[in-house]
Amino acid sequence: MRDGTRTRLLLVEDNAQSAGLYRRFLADTCDVTWAKALEDGRRLAEAENPEVVVLDLQIPSEPDAADEDTRHGLRLLDRILELDPFRPIVVLTAHHDRSLMRQVLQRTRGGQFVFKDDDEIERALLGAIATAVGGTAWQMAKTVRVFKGLVGENRPEDDYRRFMFEHWRVLLGPGYVDCRSPYEIARGAEIDLLGVRADGYTDLWELKRPDQAIFRTYNQWLHYSLDCAKAQGQLMEYIRLAMAEPSGHPRGVDRRRGLIAHTHRPRGFVVIGRYSQDADEAAKQRDWLHMSNSFLAGLQVLTYDDVVEQAEQLVEFVRDARNGHGLS
């Protein structure tokens, strides 16, 4: 919306005259799908995957039914949030009931309200939508969703490097203040991502493809695949090469705080492969990888599933923290 693109919006409003008025307000910025009740609202939310929902709470169970009730609106709100817990929602209501507002806020972790008796309803509605769509948690959630799609496509390594570099604040987390990519760690050797931590030290990230195996099985025992073992060796070689740079050289360990060999060795991360789609096998793989990482000094192996899950946890924390939930 802010960059000129049109926003996919689901409007749930049982009153045709009011719905026509709101659609006119939104005509320049949104592609609006209209639902009149709980059932068609639920169906359209599932089918259309809207970027934002404008929801009247007092709606009927089905179109043209004479059973308008805020309980129907709350049930639809719950279903919309089940489909996507970070989806921006603007509640459009004639009710000023604090108890009802509290129930909405407990579900949305801080949503936008527009009251139908607002003298400047158009300004209020457009402003609430812009605020909801521009929310930090929603923007981060969209980034994670796109990344999950990329992971499922098994693209070349460089596609993942570019995307993770562009969105490193979301995908690598708040432990970094800067990220560089690609980064020449030594003559002729480039690391995929170099993350600069708040203390000035650095972490090295070596990325492989999601479709590369991380595990192999010998009898009933798991161990690292050849691709994963090679990636670990590659990362250790990068550190060795950096340590071998001549003293005083711009790439030398004595010129970069993050690579001082005698006081600090950079942490290294290998991202490769995915866990099994079988839940029991995936649990076994997670346990084995967690144990294996505990034996590695300064090196950690992650799957792309781990990166996604950590980013999702960050998005959830940001959403709750910005709205004062779960911090006491």
What confidence score (pLDDT) does residue 260 get? Answer: 46
Could you read off the pLDDT of 59-92 as tens digits, one per residue?
A: 999 998 999 999 999 999 999 988 988 888 999 8
pLDDT higher than 60, residue 259: no
The torsion defined by the Cα of 71, 74, 78 and 83, in degrees rounded to 10, comes to: 110
CA distance 11 to 98: 23
CA distance 254 to 176: 22
Mean pLDDT of 218-245: 86
What confidence score (pLDDT) does residue 248 get? Answer: 52
* Mean pLDDT of the chain, nearest integer: 86
CA distance 201 to 260: 9
> Is 203 strand, coil or helix?
strand
pLDDT higher than 50, residue 139: yes
* Longest CA pairwise span in the chain (Å): 82
Could you read off the pLDDT of 289-321 as tens digits, one per residue?
A: 999 999 888 899 999 999 999 999 998 888 776
| Angle of CA points 180, 184, 190, to nearest 5° | 95
Confidence label for 287 from pLDDT (cuts 50, 70 and 90): very high
Mean pLDDT of 17-25: 93
Where exactly are the structural domains of the chain?
A: 7-134, 140-319
Confidence label for 246 from pLDDT (cuts 50, 70 and 90): low
Confidence label for 325 from pLDDT (cuts 50, 70 and 90): low
Residues 86/315, Cβ–Cβ less than 8 Å: yes
pLDDT higher than 60, residue 250: no
Residues 126/25, Cβ–Cβ less than 8 Å: yes
Residues 214/229, Cβ–Cβ less than 8 Å: no
CA distance 265 to 193: 16
What confidence score (pLDDT) does residue 245 get? Answer: 60
Q: What are the structure tokens assigned to 90, written together?
A: 């603007």
The pairing of strands 7-12 and 30-35 is parallel
Neighbours of 93 (CB within 10 A): 20
What confidence score (pLDDT) does residue 42 get? Answer: 95
Backbone angles phi, psi at 12, to 5 degrees: -115, 105
**Among the four given CATH numbers 3.40.1350.10, 3.40.50.300, 3.40.250.10, 3.90.70.10, the one describing domain 140-319:** 3.40.1350.10
Q: How many residues does the chain have?
A: 328
Report the DSSP beta bridge partners of residue 51.
none
What is the number of alpha carbons within 13 Å of residue 84 lying toward its C-beta? 22
Neighbours of 175 (CB within 10 A): 11
CA distance 31 to 51: 10
What confidence score (pLDDT) does residue 322 get? Answer: 57
Mean pLDDT of 196-220: 91
Mean pLDDT of 24-43: 94
Cα radius of gyration (the chain): 25
Residues whose CB falls within 8 Å of the CB of residue 81, separated by 6 or more in sequence, listed in order:
87, 89, 107, 108
Q: Which of 95-99, 166-170, 240-244 has the lowest mean pLDDT?
A: 240-244
**CATH number attached to the domain at 7-134:** 3.40.50.2300
Report the DSSP beta bridge partners of residue 12.
35, 55
Report the DSSP beta bridge partners of residue 54.
11, 90
CA distance 99 to 139: 29
